[in-house]
């Protein structure tokens, strides 16, 4: 009986959700999660007859995407696998939000490709070279003269760190 | 002006985006079941790897040159395709982007002055590359057929053209037509090109000099007229609104190995039927017709003349009394058909389930003499769809789809789903 109850709860939780419409084989992936949630609430509030005043102020709940993702087609996620940027608050296991549409400038934390590896470091641009600065005394700065071996992949805009 | 934007070696570009060690290395991507080569990086092309060649034919050369090989990762390609198209949409007015395939789109540029088209195309190209990491080629011209020709020239001469070719004068159009072999004209297949060569038409320019009436007679009526009109520089193909609803839904796959038992065929059919139903419910349709086919493994892969033997196909169909999008209904029908065409002792290499004859699900026309499907079942489907979408890995399945799925497609060299799964994100040091 207990299992049935749990299943019923899960079913309830999901029955109002418009499922994620995603079919990569068709080339287009559109994500619509929880689209119905908001309209459901409003319909229920109206159904009480004399509308509560707060109905006029009903709005969408806070959505982390609005804060963390400025440009969706250009935003990617990475998993941190080193403590080189500890001083910038970037820990092993954290999630990096990387926006490729943000121009890389001196002082920005970037994800870069160097010698066949993804690195996260603070970027310092000189006229003919680039320096990647760590924020952890265990690591040294990387000075790059041969820019053909180097590529800035994207600018880190946020780090998600669990406590 | 119209333009076509086409991603360069799309699947390879997707793989390279998350493979920092393969930035300038030759790579190829294999089709479903690791059968054929479907995408090659420029480096692999230079090493003489053929497009659409069966993998086993090129395996030796791939090994010799150390070419990196990937199985198709449709989750990754689908996501990046969406990003490329979305970038275009954000730079163009609504309705100006017509997605043509996973890696190409037509864009309407009539709001841009002719003199500015080249600069605008460069801006589009650079923005797409910066935002998504996928490089593209752009061909712009007065119509779609010519834009395809421009795009081909851009791709052929990447360095000289910077991947952008704009055909904005009669002179440029003529030169481009002369450089285009007849078989490379959009819409001319192999058969037509052989036929046209008999008439001495070897390139696009020669075809553009023909009368419309000639096209009607020799190139399949109205299509031929349209094609020649566009080659002459006149506009006929407008932008097409995206097809939101399909008229037919099919799930067909190669088996990962030879399959000869009914149980495995049944599992496969049930799995494919489930997939079809998910797609069908997404467009809120219900199907009247269920088709099933099985492809037998041929005794020899190549005949005496060296032509590839696909194997013989057996198929059957059923018309449902009540149109349905309910997975159990469709599985039942598909398995019943499968049973009638399955033969013990045969070896099968591919199977497919095809749904067609759709009616809208909200206004189901029910047969007066047959009980309509239960709405409770529809709610159940809805819950299953939502849970599978939220948890992603098909947490709820029908028993008949099997648990081991030994017949499943091979995809041994698939990269991670870097952009769609939290637990498969790319690692950074």
Q: Give a yes or no: residue A66 inside a domain.
A: no
Those residues with Cβ within 8 angstroms of residue B381's Cβ, 6 or more apart along the chain or in another chain: B277, B281, B325, B326, B327
Of all residues in chain B, the one with the smallest CA distance to A91 is B429
Poorest-pLDDT segment among B156-165, B311-320, B322-331, B404-413: B404-413
Of all residues in chain B, the one with the smallest CA distance to A111 is B428
Neighboring chain B residues of A117 at a CB cutoff of 8 Å: 20-21, 429
Band of residue B16 on the pLDDT scale cut at 50, 70, 90: very high
CB B112 within 8 A of CB B1: yes
Position A34 pLDDT exceeds 50: no
3-class DSSP assignment, residue A25? helix
Neighboring chain A residues of B282 at a CB cutoff of 8 Å: 21, 23
As a whole-number percent, the residues of chain B with pLDDT over 70 amount to 93
Residue reference for tokens 């880190």: A156
Q: Give a yes or no: residue A67 inside a domain.
A: no
Residue A99 φ then ψ, to 5° = -110, 110
Neighboring chain A residues of B79 at a CB cutoff of 8 Å: 24, 29
Residue B112 φ then ψ, to 5° = -105, 130
Position A29 pLDDT exceeds 60: no
Q: What angle do CA B296, B302, B305 make, to 5 degrees?
A: 135
Q: Give a yes or no: residue A145 inside a domain.
A: yes
| Nearest CA-CA partner of B362 in B283, B274, B250 | B283
Neighboring chain B residues of A28 at a CB cutoff of 8 Å: 78, 81-82, 85, 99
Closest CB from B133, B385, B429 relative to A100: B133
CB A159 within 8 A of CB A89: yes
- B426: distance to nearest CA of chain A, Å? 5
pLDDT of the residue at B277: 92
- B170: distance to nearest CA of chain A, Å? 36
Poorest-pLDDT segment among A69-83, B45-59, B334-348, B352-366: B352-366
Residues in chain A whose Cβ is within 8 Å of chain B: 10-11, 14-15, 17-30, 71-74, 76-82, 84, 95-96, 100-101, 111, 113, 116-120, 151, 153
Residue reference for tokens 């712009």: B140
Specify whether the backbone of B44 is left (phi greater than 0), alpha (psi in -120 to 50) or beta: alpha
Of all residues in chain B, the one with the smallest CA distance to A24 is B78
Element (H, E) at B144: helix B144-156
A66-115 pLDDT per residue, tens: 999 999 999 999 999 999 999 999 999 999 999 999 999 999 999 999 99
Average of pLDDT values for B87-110? 94
Alpha-carbon gap, residue B191 to B230, rounded angstroms: 21
Which of A29, A118, A136 to probe the B interface (max B CBs under 10 A)?
A: A29
Judge if A124 and A91 occupy the same domain: yes
Fold topology of B169-242 = DNA polymerase; domain 1 (1.10.150)
Position A6 pLDDT exceeds 90: no
Q: Give a yes or no: residue A14 inside a domain.
A: yes
Judge if A76 and A155 occupy the same domain: yes
CB A159 within 8 A of CB A90: yes
Closest CB from A27, A78, A80 relative to B78: A27
Which of B24, B428, B429 to probe the A interface (max A CBs under 10 A)?
A: B428
CB B133 within 8 A of CB A100: yes
B113-136 pLDDT per residue, tens: 999 999 999 999 999 999 999 999
- CB–CB contact B78 A19 (8 Å): no
Judge if A76 and A126 occupy the same domain: yes
Judge if A120 and A151 occupy the same domain: yes
Q: Give a yes or no: residue A106 inside a domain.
A: yes
* Mean pLDDT of all residues belonging to chain B: 87
B216-242 pLDDT per residue, tens: 877 878 888 888 888 988 877 677 766
ipTM exceeds 0.95, yes or no: no
Alpha helices in chain A (DSSP H): 2-15, 35-46, 64-68
Alpha-carbon gap, residue A140 to A130, rounded angstroms: 14
| CA quadruple A45, A50, A52, A55: dihedral sign | positive
Write out the two tokens for B139.
Answer: 């061909």
Of all residues in chain A, the one with the smallest CA distance to B32 is A25
Range of the domain at A146: 72-160
Checking DSSP bridges between strand B68-71 and strand B27-30, what pairing results, if any? parallel
pLDDT of the residue at A31: 39
Checking DSSP bridges between strand A75-80 and strand A142-144, what pairing results, if any? unpaired
- CB–CB contact A95 B21 (8 Å): no
- CB–CB contact B78 A26 (8 Å): yes
pLDDT of the residue at B137: 97
- CB–CB contact B78 A72 (8 Å): no
Alpha-carbon gap, residue B36 to B31, rounded angstroms: 5
> Within a 10 A sphere around the Cβ of B426, how many other Cβ atoms?
22
Return the higher-pLDDT residue of B167 and B50: B167
Closest CB from A27, A77, A84 relative to B101: A27
pLDDT of the residue at A18: 45
- CB–CB contact B82 A100 (8 Å): no
Return the higher-pLDDT residue of B389 and B278: B278
Which residues on neighbouring strands pair with residue B287, listed in sequence order? Answer: B324, B358
pLDDT of the residue at B113: 93
pLDDT of the residue at B301: 65
Alpha-carbon gap, residue B170 to B70, rounded angstroms: 43
| Nearest CA-CA partner of B23 in A77, A119, A117 | A117
Alpha-carbon gap, residue B326 to B331, rounded angstroms: 9
Q: Give a yes or no: residue A81 inside a domain.
A: yes
Element (H, E) at B126: helix B117-132
Chains A, B: CB pairs < 8 Å: 124
The ranges assigned to domains in chain B are 1-168, 169-242, 248-401
Element (H, E) at B228: helix B222-231
3-class secondary structure for B27-72? EEEECHHHCEEEEECHHHHHCCCCCCCEHHHHHHHHHHCCCEEEEC
Q: Give a yes or no: residue A120 inside a domain.
A: yes
Neighboring chain A residues of B7 at a CB cutoff of 8 Å: none
CB B19 within 8 A of CB B415: yes
Q: Give a yes or no: residue A153 inside a domain.
A: yes
> Within a 10 A sphere around the Cβ of B205, how many other Cβ atoms?
18
- CB–CB contact A23 B282 (8 Å): yes
Alpha-carbon gap, residue B248 to B258, rounded angstroms: 28
Poorest-pLDDT segment among B8-17, B272-281, B295-304, B388-397: B295-304
B248-401 CATH: 3.30.1490.100
Alpha-carbon gap, residue A134 to A83, rounded angstroms: 9
- CB–CB contact A28 B78 (8 Å): yes
Judge if A107 and A154 occupy the same domain: yes
Position B48 pLDDT exceeds 60: yes
Position B150 pLDDT exceeds 90: yes
Write out the two tokens for A115.
Answer: 């010698």
Closest CB from A74, A113, A151 relative to B132: A74
Question: What is the architecture of the domain spanning B1-168?
Answer: 2-Layer Sandwich (3.30)
The four Cα atoms B226, B230, B234, B239 give a dihedral, to 10 degrees, of 80
Residue reference for tokens 């954000």: B90
pTM as predicted? 0.79
Q: What is the count of structural domains for chain A?
A: 2
Band of residue B59 on the pLDDT scale cut at 50, 70, 90: confident
E strand residue ranges, B235-280 = 248-259
Of all residues in chain A, the one with the smallest CA distance to B10 is A27
């Amino acid at each position: 009986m207990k299992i049935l109850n749990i299943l019923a709860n899960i079913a309830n939780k999901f029955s109002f959700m418009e499922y994620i419409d995603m079919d990569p084989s068709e080339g287009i992936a559109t994500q619509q999660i929880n689209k119905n949630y908001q309209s459901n609430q409003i319909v229920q509030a109206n159904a009480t007859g004399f509308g509560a005043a707060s109905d006029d102020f009903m709005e969408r709940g806070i959505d982390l995407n609005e804060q963390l993702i400025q440009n969706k087609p250009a935003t990617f996620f990475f998993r941190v696998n080193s403590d080189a940027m500890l001083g910038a608050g970037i820990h092993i296991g954290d999630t990096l939000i990387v926006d490729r549409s943000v121009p890389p400038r001196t002082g920005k934390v970037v994800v870069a490709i160097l010698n066949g590896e993804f690195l996260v470091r603070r970027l310092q641009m000189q006229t003919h070279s680039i320096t990647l600065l760590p924020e952890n005394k265990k690591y040294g700065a990387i000075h790059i003269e041969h820019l053909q071996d180097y590529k800035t992949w994207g600018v880190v805009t946020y780090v998600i760190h669990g406590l | 002006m119209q333009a076509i934007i086409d991603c360069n070696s799309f699947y390879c570009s997707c793989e390279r985006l998350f493979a920092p060690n393969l930035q300038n290395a030759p790579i190829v991507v294999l089709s479903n079941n690791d059968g054929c080569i479907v995408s090659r990086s420029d480096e692999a092309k230079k090493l003489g790897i053929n497009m659409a060649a069966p993998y086993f034919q090129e395996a030796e050369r791939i090994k010799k040159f150390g070419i990196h090989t990937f199985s198709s990762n449709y989750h990754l390609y689908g996501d990046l395709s969406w990003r490329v198209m979305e970038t275009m949409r954000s730079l163009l007015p609504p309705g100006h982007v017509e997605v043509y395939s996973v890696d190409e789109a037509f864009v309407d540029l009539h709001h841009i002055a002719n003199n500015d088209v080249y600069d605008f195309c460069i801006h589009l190209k650079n923005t797409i590359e910066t935002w998504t990491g996928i490089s593209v080629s752009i061909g712009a011209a007065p119509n779609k057929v010519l834009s395809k020709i421009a795009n081909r020239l851009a791709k052929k001469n990447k360095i000289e053209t910077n991947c952008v070719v704009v055909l904005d004068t009669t002179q440029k159009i003529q030169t481009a037509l002369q450089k285009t072999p007849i078989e490379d004209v959009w819409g001319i297949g192999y058969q037509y090109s052989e036929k046209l060569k008999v008439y001495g038409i070897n390139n696009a320019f020669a075809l553009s000099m023909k009368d419309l009436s000639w096209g009607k007679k020799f190139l399949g009526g109205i299509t031929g007229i349209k094609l020649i009109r566009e080659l002459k520089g006149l506009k006929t193909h407008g932008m097409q609104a995206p097809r939101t609803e399909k008229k037919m839904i099919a799930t067909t796959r190669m088996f990962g190995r030879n399959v000869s038992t009914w149980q495995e065929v049944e599992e496969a059919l049930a799995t494919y039927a489930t997939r079809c139903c998910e797609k069908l419910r997404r467009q809120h349709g219900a199907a009247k017709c269920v088709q099933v086919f099985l492809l037998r493994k041929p005794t020899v892969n190549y005949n005496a003349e060296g032509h590839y033997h696909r194997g013989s196909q057996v198929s059957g169909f059923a018309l449902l009394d009540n149109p349905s999008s309910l997975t159990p209904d469709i599985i039942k029908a598909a398995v019943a058909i499968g049973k009638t065409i399955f033969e013990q002792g045969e070896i099968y290499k591919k199977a497919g389930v095809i749904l067609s004859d759709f009616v809208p699900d909200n206004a189901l026309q029910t047969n007066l003499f047959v009980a309509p499907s239960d709405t409770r079942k529809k709610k159940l489907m809805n819950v299953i769809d939502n849970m599978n979408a939220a948890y992603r890995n098909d947490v709820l399945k029908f028993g008949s789809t099997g648990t081991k799925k030994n017949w499943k497609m091979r995809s041994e060299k698939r990269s991670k789903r870097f952009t769609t799964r939290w637990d498969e994100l790319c690692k950074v040091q």
